[in-house]
A and B are shown apart, each in its own frame.
Chain A
Amino acid sequence: SQQGEEDPQALSIQEGENATMNCSYKTSINNLQWYRQNSGRGLVHLILIRSNEREKHSGRLRVTLDTSKKSSSLLITASRAADTASYFCATSQAGTALIFGKGTTLSVSS
């Protein structure tokens, strides 16, 4: 089963621009996490935001969470070619598996 829907499905930008990806989910959550996956590779954990948090920063990443709208956004500022990857949001309740959204494919051209 899939919990979340990301949009856009694909995003193409130039180096230096900001990239914003959105994620919506359906049920109540304990936390929401964002992951990056380079083509054919494993997952890289980016950031976790708990249900009682509204915003979190990590380097060039900024994540927001709106539990009333059941949505989250991931902002990557000053993007680089190396940011080219697929990005997934994933949600979980206490002790349960992460359920992934469909993902956004980001392409950053130099």
Chain B
Amino acid sequence: GAVVSQHPSRVICKSGTSVKIECRSLDFQATTMFWYRQFPKQSLMLMATSNEGSKATYEQGVEKDKFLINHASLTLSTLTVTSAHPEDSSFYICSARDQRRDNTEAFFGQGTRLTVV
């Protein structure tokens, strides 16, 4: 089955610094990837849709200048949390779909647990 790799799985950073999270589709091309955030004991909330070669589409309430998304190739999307603060501590998870196989399952990365201290 298709695999999506997300890195790092866990990161601790100081308040005010930036953190980059990578999401790679390993054996398929993904023109579109999705980024989600999950706070403790809550569900996954869609943050943004990452489009290869164009700007990301952000959900309402998500600051595009704070959560920078770059989708420079068909297999890699990155999410950079800029000037991180403790309230940004969360579980971030990416998802990608195999564009050749519509109406099939979405594949998820392993997630990144971000702790801002």
Question: Which of A31, A95, A103 lies in contact with B43, CB distance below 8 A?
Answer: A103
Is there an interface contact between B46 and A31, defined as CB atoms closer than 8 Å? no
In the bound assembly, the distance between CA atoms of A101 and B106 in angstroms comes to 16
Is there an interface contact between A1 and B60, defined as CB atoms closer than 8 Å? yes
Q: Mark B95-115, 1 if CB is under 8 A from A, else 0.
A: 101000011111111110100
- A59 proximal to B (CB < 8 A): no
Q: Mark A53-73, 1 if CB is under 8 A from B, else 0.
A: 000000000000000000000
- Rounded to whole Å, the gap between the CB of B115 and the closest CB of chain A is 12
Number of A-B contacts (CB under 8 A): 56
Report A8-44 residues with CB < 8 Å from chain B CB. 30-31, 33, 40-43
Is there an interface contact between A42 and B105, defined as CB atoms closer than 8 Å? no
Chain A residues positioned under 8 Å from B104 (CB to CB): 48
Chain A residues positioned under 8 Å from B32 (CB to CB): 95
Chain A residues positioned under 8 Å from B89 (CB to CB): none
21 A-B residue pairs with CB within 8 Å: A1-B46, A33-B105, A33-B106, A40-B113, A42-B108, A42-B109, A42-B110, A42-B111, A45-B106, A45-B107, A50-B103, A88-B44, A90-B106, A92-B106, A94-B102, A95-B97, A97-B34, A98-B34, A100-B36, A101-B43, A103-B43
Starting from the known contacts A45-B107, A50-B103, A94-B102, 19 additional A-B residue pairs (CB-CB under 8 Å) come to: A1-B46, A1-B60, A2-B45, A30-B103, A31-B103, A33-B106, A40-B113, A42-B108, A42-B110, A42-B111, A45-B106, A88-B44, A92-B106, A94-B103, A95-B97, A97-B49, A98-B106, A100-B36, A101-B43
A residues at B contact (CB < 8 Å): 1-2, 30-31, 33, 40-43, 45, 48, 50, 88, 90, 92, 94-95, 97-103
